[in-house]
Amino acid sequence: MVESNDSIPLDAEKIYLGGKEHHVRTRCGSVSVIVYGDQDKPALITYPDLALNYMSCFQGLFFCPEAASLLLHNFCIYHISPPGHELGAAQICPSTSPYSADDLADQILESKRGLILENLFRLGAVMCMGVTAGAYILTLFAIKYRERVLGLILVSPLCRAPSWTEWFYNKVMSNLLYFYGMCGLLKEILLQRYFSKEVRGNAEVPESDIVQACRRLLDERYGSNVMRFLQAINRRPDLTGGLKRLRCRTLIFVGDSSPFHSEALYMTSKLDRRFSALVEVQACGSMVTEEQPHAMLIPMEYFFMRYGLYRPCHLSDSPRSPLSPSCISPELLSPESMGLKLKPIKTRVSLEV
């Protein structure tokens, strides 16, 4: 890992939808970081799933007006993409050597130090939000660098080493990538990983707009970039032993049609119940952020209230909220008060969260 006094080159290149893209060159390749919002606010890091970037993993959440208002009012957003997964990435990464899940977790810290050189990252600790493979990387980061993570929002997360079924599918995808690149069969396997059958469509019902947009993005992926990330995730270690050591609050979302639904339930069972909550979203796949972003709003509101963060209508004139615990009655965090018994959400949240 890069020492703190090392200089990490950082290039600010493009602007996307009001956010500026930076490329931080690390030992595992170039990492894309797109920055949105007031850089004096607390930092929220996002990390996407395999073969995706923030446009395909988090756009639905930020296009939900209430959720966008909650997040952008309280945070400066730092969308991190793995090497070769940035917007428009159709080229081979500068570094083609294999990397591990540990390397990807360390890259976040390297990216952070690179951004410090440009006075973009001002906080020593951050909030994290990741989807599936990205959720695994951020969980590993939180275990390795506990003092740097304030909270985790994980969507259909992984935490164990691959099951035989997942290992087999990953090997099939690796072979398809090696011989055929981003072929049609591979894209279908990935779309089943991301979305429920309700939005994937069939012979009678067309694909939804979010699936069509994701399919177009997959067309832009370069096979070797995706394969390096896939191989790192397929060799990932089991994080079960480290979950009990987490002291940051953790909010988990999972669709009941996600192939990783059981993984999310297992992870929840291993976390300290005083600091964790699970929200299961019905008729939804892995990417709750895209399929049903509205289902995330109320749980996130109560989760952020524990840090003294609120939606704009609850705030004073100051746009910057301190990241310090707030005094909230436990009754307000009950499932009934949170409204989590209403469809399409069901919850397994402890009263002590």
351 domain-assigned: no
* pTM for the structure as a whole: 0.83
Give Cα separations from 180 to 87, 103, 177, 185 (angstroms): 22, 27, 5, 10
The pLDDT tens digits of the residues spanning 135-149 come to 999 999 999 999 889
Q: Is residue 269, in this structure, part of any structural domain at all?
A: yes
Q: Is position 327 within any domain?
A: no
Is residue 224 a contact partner of residue 94, using CB atoms and an 8 Å limit?
Answer: no
End-to-end Cα separation, the chain, in angstroms: 34
Q: What distance in Å separates the CA atoms of residue 114 and residue 294, rounded to the nearest whole number?
A: 34
Nearest to 24 by CA among 87, 147, 104, 110: 110
Q: Do the domain assignments include residue 350?
A: no
Range of the domain at 254: 20-306
Query: For residue range 323-344, what is the model confidence (pLDDT) as tens digits?
Result: 433 334 444 444 444 444 444 4
Residue 112 within a domain? yes
Whole-angstrom distance, CA of residue 46 vs CA of residue 245: 22
- On whether residue 211 sits in a domain, the answer given is yes
Q: At residue 54, does pLDDT exceed 60?
A: yes
Using alpha carbons, select from 329, 280, 268, 281 the residue that is nearest to residue 302: 329
CATH number of residue 63's parent domain? 3.40.50.1820
Residue 312 lies in a domain: no
How many structural domains are present in the chain?
1
Structure tokens at 189: 């396997």
286 in a structural domain: yes
Whether the ω angle into residue 344 lies within 30 degrees of 0, i.e. cis, is yes
Q: What digits encode the pLDDT tens for the residues 98-137?
A: 788 998 888 887 766 655 433 345 557 899 999 999 999 9
